[in-house]
């Protein structure tokens, strides 16, 4: 067996076809080069209510679970930090300066400058961009 990788849409579609043909989980797993428990888990997680399996639905459910599993961004969770960052950016301070000043006032929950750069570059702070609010215009 190979090291674990998530099932692709092609593998899911093959799984659907083999299930409809009436093949066993072990034979399907052997054909796909997967563990029988991986195939069993895939079916358990992504079967329709009527017991049938749809590859496209399984892929969509997988993607939605992956999206939910990611850690929330700190600026999205902490309104006080977000306000401090926005005020600093309005004053044309660099993220390093904003982080240093915030850490002086809030030593219990320090923040790094990369926590400020990341949402700027990904355009997750509405009204603020690296090009318009950083000294070197995001270079």
Return the ∠ at Cα 42 (arms to 39 and 45), rounded to 5°.
150
* DSSP state letter for 126: T
Query: How many angstroms separate the CA atoms of 24 and 94, rounded?
Result: 61
With the C-alpha atoms ordered 101, 106, 110, 116, is the resulting torsion angle positive or negative? negative
The pTM (predicted TM-score) of the whole model is: 0.57
To which H or E segment does residue 132 belong?
helix 130-133
Neighbours of 81 (CB within 10 A): 20
Residues 6+ positions from 137 with CB-CB distance below 8 Å: 130, 131
Query: How many angstroms separate the CA atoms of 43 and 55, rounded?
Result: 10
What's the mean pLDDT when you consider all of the chain? Answer: 88
Model confidence pLDDT, tens digit, residues 22-48: 999 999 999 999 999 999 999 999 999
Confidence bin at 128 (pLDDT 50/70/90): confident
- pLDDT given at position 136: 64
88: nearest Cα among 128, 118, 45: 128
């Amino acid at each position: 067996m190979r090291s674990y990788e998530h099932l692709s849409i092609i593998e899911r579609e093959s799984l659907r076809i083999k299930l409809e043909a009436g093949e066993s989980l072990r034979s399907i797993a052997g054909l796909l080069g997967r563990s029988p428990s991986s195939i069993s888990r895939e079916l358990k997680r992504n079967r329709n209510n009527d017991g049938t399996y749809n590859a496209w639905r399984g892929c969509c459910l997988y993607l939605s679970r992956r999206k939910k599993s990611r850690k929330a961004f700190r600026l999205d969770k902490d309104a006080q930090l977000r306000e401090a960052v926005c005020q600093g950016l309005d004053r044309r301070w660099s993220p390093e300066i904003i982080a240093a000043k915030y850490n002086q006032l809030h030593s219990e929950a320090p923040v790094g400058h990369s926590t400020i750069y990341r949402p700027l570059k990904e355009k997750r702070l509405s009204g603020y961009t690296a090009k318009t609010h950083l000294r070197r215009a995001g270079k």
